[in-house]
Amino acid sequence: MSFDNLETLYRQVIMDHYKNPRNRGTLDGDSLTVDMNNPTCGDQIHLQLKIEDGKVADAKFEGEGCSISMSSASMMTQAIKGKTVEEALELSKIFSDMVQGKEVEADGMEMGDIMALQGVSKFPARIKCATLAWKAMEKGVSENEKEE
């Protein structure tokens, strides 16, 4: 597949997650809740996580923002469901490195649609958009660990 075709495919994946977000909404019952915003562009996320037995049992989000931040939130919630907290945090680190243009080793982790956001590294101003949901997840998980 040529580079242009790959970029077109990635753009389509991003827009699909933006127009048809996965895991958009709220969780019933007890959950971790994290609200974060990106003051430079106004992106906002309300993330809810259900952690059970050290695993991310469920994740949902609501928010407003650009296609990059909202599609990233959709992809992130899909990617971390069923993962251990440690795996979710490791995936977050890999993702952060990837969007910053660093060479990444996925170490067998399934990256799936997340790979569509690797082009963000070409647009430094958009990195905070792409990582907003991931930073919210990291904050929620670390607050949960402090409570336990």
Cα dihedral sign for 107, 128, 145, 81? negative
Residue 3 — pLDDT band, cuts 50, 70, 90?
low
The amino acid at residue 80 is I
Q: Which pLDDT tens digit goes with each residue over 4-16?
A: 777 888 889 999 9
Taking 70 as the threshold, does the pLDDT of residue 40 lie above it?
A: yes
- Going across the sheet that includes 32-38, the strands are 32-38, 43-52, 55-64
Taking 70 as the threshold, does the pLDDT of residue 2 lie above it?
A: no
Taking 80 as the threshold, does the pLDDT of residue 36 lie above it?
A: yes
Q: Say which residue, 78 or 1, is predicted with more confidence.
A: 78
Q: Name the nearest CA neighbour of 18 among 95, 91, 75, 103.
A: 75
Residue whose structure tokens are 């809740």: 33
Taking 70 as the threshold, does the pLDDT of residue 148 lie above it?
A: no
Token pair of 59, please? Answer: 């994740």
User: What is the pTM assigned to this prediction?
Assistant: 0.92
Q: Say which residue, 105 or 84, is predicted with more confidence.
A: 84
Taking 70 as the threshold, does the pLDDT of residue 99 lie above it?
A: yes
Counting residues of the chain whose pLDDT is more than 90, the rounded percentage is 77
Residue ranges of domains in the chain:
3-143
Taking 80 as the threshold, does the pLDDT of residue 140 lie above it?
A: yes
Residue 76 — pLDDT band, cuts 50, 70, 90?
very high
- HEC-encoded secondary structure of the chain: CCHHHHHHHHHHHHHHHHHCCCCECCCCCCCEEEEEEECCCCEEEEEEEEEECCEEEEEEEEEECCHHHHHHHHHHHHHHCCCEHHHHHHHHHHHHHHHCCCCCCCCCCCCHHHHHHHHHHHCHHHHHHHHHHHHHHHHHHHHHHHHC
CATH code of the region 3-143: 3.90.1010.10
55-64 and 32-38 strand pairing: unpaired
